[in-house]
Amino acid sequence: MIPAAFDYVRASSLTQAIDLLRNDPDGTKLLAGGHTLLPSLKLRLASPALLVDIGDLAELKGIEISETGIRIGALTTHAELFASLPLNEQLPLFRQAAGLIADPQVRNRGTIGGSLANADPAADWPAVMLALQAEIEIAGTSGFRTILARDFFVDIFSTVLEADEILARINIPRPTAGTRFVYRKIRHPASGFAVVGIAIALRLSQNLVSEATIGVTGAANHAFVGEDAADFLIGKTLSRENIDQAARLLSEATECLSDRYASADYRANLIQVELKRALLALTP
Ligand SMILES: Cc1cc2nc3c(=O)[nH]c(=O)nc-3n(C[C@H](O)[C@H](O)[C@H](O)COP(=O)(O)OP(=O)(O)OC[C@H]3O[C@@H](n4cnc5c(N)ncnc54)[C@H](O)[C@@H]3O)c2cc1C
Q: What is the pLDDT of residues 87-141, one digit of tens each?
A: 999 999 999 999 999 999 999 999 999 999 999 999 999 999 999 999 999 999 9
Look at ligand 1, atom 46, and give the residue with the nearest C-alpha.
Answer: 30
Q: What is the CATH number of domain 181-282?
A: 3.30.390.50
Look at ligand 1, atom 53, and give the residue with the nearest C-alpha.
Answer: 35
What are the domain boundaries of the chain? 7-53, 58-173, 181-282
Active site residues: 12
Q: Does any ligand 1 atom lie closer than 6 A to the CB of residue 123?
A: yes
Domains 58-173 and 181-282 share a fold: no
Q: Does any ligand 1 atom lie closer than 6 A to the CB of residue 167?
A: yes
Q: What is the pLDDT of residues 65-82, one digit of tens each?
A: 999 999 999 999 999 999
Is 90 exceeded by the pLDDT of residue 1? no
How far is residue 173's CA from residue 62's CA, in Å, rounded to a whole number? 17
Fold annotation for 7-53: 3.30.43
User: In sequence order, which residues have a C-beta less than 8 Å from that of residue 197 and are 6 or more positions away?
Assistant: 100, 122, 124, 127, 183, 184, 185, 186, 216, 217, 218, 274
CA distances from 196 to 28, 40, 230 (A): 32, 23, 18
Q: Does any ligand 1 atom lie closer than 6 A to the CB of residue 179?
A: no
Is 90 exceeded by the pLDDT of residue 284? no
| Average pLDDT value over all residues in the chain | 97
Ligand 1 pocket mutation, candidates 21, 30, 59, 217, criterion most atoms within 8 A of CB: 30
Q: Does any ligand 1 atom lie closer than 6 A to the CB of residue 118?
A: yes
Query: In 206-224, which positions are buried (b, 16+ CB within 10 angstroms) versus exposed (e)?
Result: eeebebbbbbbbbbbbbbb
Q: What is the pLDDT of residues 206-265, one digit of tens each?
A: 999 999 999 999 999 999 999 999 999 999 999 999 999 999 999 999 999 999 999 999
Strand partners, 171: 71, 135
Fold annotation for 58-173: 3.30.465
Q: What percent of the chain has pLDDT over 70?
A: 100
Residue 107 CA to ligand 1 center (angstroms) comes to 10
Q: Does any ligand 1 atom lie closer than 6 A to the CB of residue 14?
A: no
